[in-house]
Amino acid sequence: MNTTTIDAPGAPARDCLSLFELAVLGAIWGASFMFQRVAAPEFGAFALAELRLALGALVLLPFLWRSWRSFPARVWPMLALLGAINSAVPFALFAYAAQHAPAGIGAICNSMAVLFTALVAYLFFGEKIGLRRSIALLAGFAGVIVLASAKTAGASIGLAVAVGTGAALLYGVGANLVRKQLVGMPPIAVAAATLSFASLELLPFAVRHWPEVMPSTHAWLSTIALGAICTGAAYAIYYRLIVRIGASRAVTVTYLVPLFAVAWAWLLLGEPLTLPMAVSATLILGSVAFSGHRQRDDRNAGA
């Protein structure tokens, strides 16, 4: 899950339909980690990420076709770079993490993207971080440490946590590049372009690491749902929400994704909610909420 906002106008209305769509979006993005958990062991990280990108791009291509003339020539190299930073590498990393850890682990790590966006803005773009965000970052990193030190069924998940956290860091970098380099561009068309570039960039790796054994029907269905629904359709819902209720309210879906991810994995995969997961989720989501009290509307939170 990866959300990027670009100077989107906000609307003050908060109606029942918008709240319903926020819940649906949280459920869809939460399910993406479950689908990765099902499909990644059979497809592998590169092939799964490639199929996800290609299917998501296909869903969003009509938006790019309608708006591509509004993109000046100078932005296309940046879109290609963002395809790698914001989609290709993070999607592959989360798919790798799904091979080695429960679905909820990746979703919890993904929540760090909001905090990493603030940290990258402070370190490289000269934005003030302030006491509130500093405390939030410390709490968030404490949550990552708690999660990384945990074990599932006797096996360490530290590497999966590190990989998921690295993907969230890349989302933070990508969010800042979007804010600085693509102001005024149509956001959903930007999403379509970056997914398309990412699909092309990851294709050689996917071909080289394509599974030798045909994946099962369950793995294929999970992959199709991951790409078409959890990536393509979810972006369309998200940007529709930005137009209706504004980016600051739409980004509250960040808090719902880990809850739905853990719930889906518990209900459908039988994965337990462990104490370290609960503690780390509380620390990370609490820090995101604490930091977000004064954050600007444009953020990145991804899967």
Contact 256, 30 (CB under 8 A): yes
Q: Are the beta carbons of 67 and 186 closer than 8 angstroms? A: yes
- CA torsion angle for 225, 195, 106, 44 (degrees, to 10)? 70
Domain count, the chain: 1
pLDDT value at residue 303: 60
Per-residue pLDDT at 285: 87
Taking the C-alpha atoms of 218, 227, 54 and 165 in order, what is their torsion angle to the nearest 10 degrees? -100
pLDDT, residue 70, reads: 83
Domain span holding position 127: 3-301
Burial class (CB in 10 A: 0-12, 13-18, 19+), 57: buried
| Rounded Cα–Cα distance for residues 191 and 249 (Å) | 19
* Amino acid 300: pLDDT: 43
Per the listing, tokens 């971080």 go with 129
Quote the pLDDT of residue 291. Answer: 72
Q: Is 149 helix (H, G, I), strand (E, B) or coil?
A: coil
Walking along the chain (303 residues) 10 residues at a time, the average pLDDT comes out as: 54 68 93 97 97 96 88 92 96 96 92 88 86 86 84 74 94 89 86 95 97 96 97 90 76 86 93 87 85 50 52
* Whole-number pLDDT of residue 4: 55
